[in-house]
């Protein structure tokens, strides 16, 4: 067992560095010894691959990635953790810690510079307060990564991996579907973390698609429609889509041409149906 999942050793390490958890930075560190090896295996880390980690904390997952991957680059926002990581990851020269905010970094450049063309996957226990923005940034920027194996809160996992056209689906479900195949891998109980959060978590895998699952003429319009439809998910699309700058008659006609009922709601539509609607609304 790694010392990084031994609660007494972790508390002693943090006390030695005068570290206190920051709730605002979503700091819940993994202390269940079986979770990180399982995540590292699931992300497909091998000697000839690289892994990008977001938020290494004290390096508990980073260590497991380093034991399997050829190179690991981990982006950490909290500068107070840098000396801790320098200590815990000292035995692993293949690990590079980058200090910064993952939402602000130029990740395409970082990946090019740090991995030099190796196949790269993302593996992380994500800070819960920015789960969706991180996932969407990684997908929307069409970064050269094969998959994202990430721990998120259980509810977020269900939303991200829901089947479009079901009540569990949200705008983010359809956006994720456009870029990746989403799958829940395994649940992780709240007791697996220090400090323990109020909710359980789950590890999900998003396998990045090489080509989108449907064709659409105007991608930006498709995502505007999805957002507008789900912002007022109880309303019919006929009522909720007026905010995208189309008049009611135009929307009614487009619904008709896309073979959708006039009272259709966002949560009832698949991605292909949204794409058909976007193509009709884009005309004229
Ligand atoms: N990987 C560690 C583990 O599993 O124990 C820590 C996971 S903890 C849930 C989230 C980590 O993300 C923390 O280390 C936190 O400081 C870091 N973090 C929060 N916001 C971040 C951001 N915008 N960019 C990079 N790291 C961030």
Ligand 1 pocket: which of 101, 127, 192 to mutate (most atoms <8 Å of CB)? Answer: 127
pLDDT at residue 50 above 80?
yes
Ligand 1 within 6 A of 238 CB? no
pLDDT of residue 256: 95
Dihedral sign of CA atoms 24, 94, 43, 6 in order? negative
pLDDT of 284 higher than 70: no
Who's near 158: CB < 8 A, 6+ residues apart? 168, 184, 202
> Do the Cβ atoms of 152 and 128 come closer than 8 Å?
yes
- Pairwise CA distance, residues 151 & 35, whole Å: 10
Q: What is the mean pLDDT of residues 267-278?
A: 94
C-alpha distance across the termini of the chain, in Å: 64
- Stretch among 21-25, 133-137, 162-166, 256-260 having the lowest mean pLDDT: 162-166
Averaged pLDDT, 55-64: 98
- The band of 283, judged by pLDDT with boundaries at 50, 70 and 90, is confident
Pocket test for ligand 1, best of 63, 77, 97, 130 (most atoms within 8 A of CB): 77
C-alpha 86/C-alpha 19 separation (Å) is 14
C-alpha distances in Å from residue 8, one per residue of 5, 193, 241, 281 = 9, 14, 55, 60
Question: Residue 212: how many CB atoms within 10 A of its CB?
Answer: 14
* Tens digits of residue pLDDT in 205-238: 999 999 999 999 999 999 999 999 999 888 999 9
Does pLDDT of 79 surpass 90?
yes
At residue 246, does pLDDT exceed 90?
Answer: no
pTM equals: 0.94
Among protein residues, the one with the nearest Cα to ligand 1's atom 5 is 29
User: pLDDT at residue 147 above 90?
Assistant: yes
pLDDT tier at 115, thresholds 50, 70, 90:
very high
Per-residue pLDDT at 72: 98
């Amino acid at each position: 067992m790694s010392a990084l999942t031994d609660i007494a050793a972790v508390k002693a390490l943090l006390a030695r560095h005068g570290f206190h958890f920051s709730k605002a930075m979503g700091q819940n560190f993994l202390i269940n010894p079986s979770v990180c090896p399982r995540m590292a295996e699931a992300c497909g880390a091998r000697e000839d691959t690289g892994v990008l980690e977001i938020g290494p904390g004290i390096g508990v997952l980073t260590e497991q990635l380093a034991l399997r991957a050829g190179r690991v680059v981990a982006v950490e926002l909290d500068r107070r953790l840098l000396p801790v990581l320098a200590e815990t990851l000292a035995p692993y020269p293949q690990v590079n810690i980058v200090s910064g905010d993952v939402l602000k970094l130029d990740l395409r450049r970082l990946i090019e510079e740090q991995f030099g063309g190796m196949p790269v996957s993302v593996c992380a226990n994500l800070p819960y307060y920015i789960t969706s923005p991180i996932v969407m940034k990684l997908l929307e920027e069409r970064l050269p990564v094969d998959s994202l194996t990430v721990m998120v809160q259980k509810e977020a996992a269900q939303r991200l991996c829901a089947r479009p056209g079901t009540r569990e689906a949200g705008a983010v479900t359809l956006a994720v579907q456009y870029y990746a195949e989403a799958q829940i891998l395994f649940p992780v109980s709240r007791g697996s973390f220090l400090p323990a959060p109020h909710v359980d978590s789950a590890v999900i895998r998003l396998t990045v698609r090489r080509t989108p699952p449907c064709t659409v003429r105007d991608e930006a319009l498709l995502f505007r429609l999805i957002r507008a439809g789900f912002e007022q998910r109880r309303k019919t699309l006929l009522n909720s889509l007026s905010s995208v700058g189309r008049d009611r008659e135009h929307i009614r006609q487009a619904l008709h041409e896309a073979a959708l009922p006039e009272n259709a709601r966002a949560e009832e539509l698949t991605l292909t149906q949204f794409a058909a609607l976007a193509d009709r609304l884009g005309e004229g």
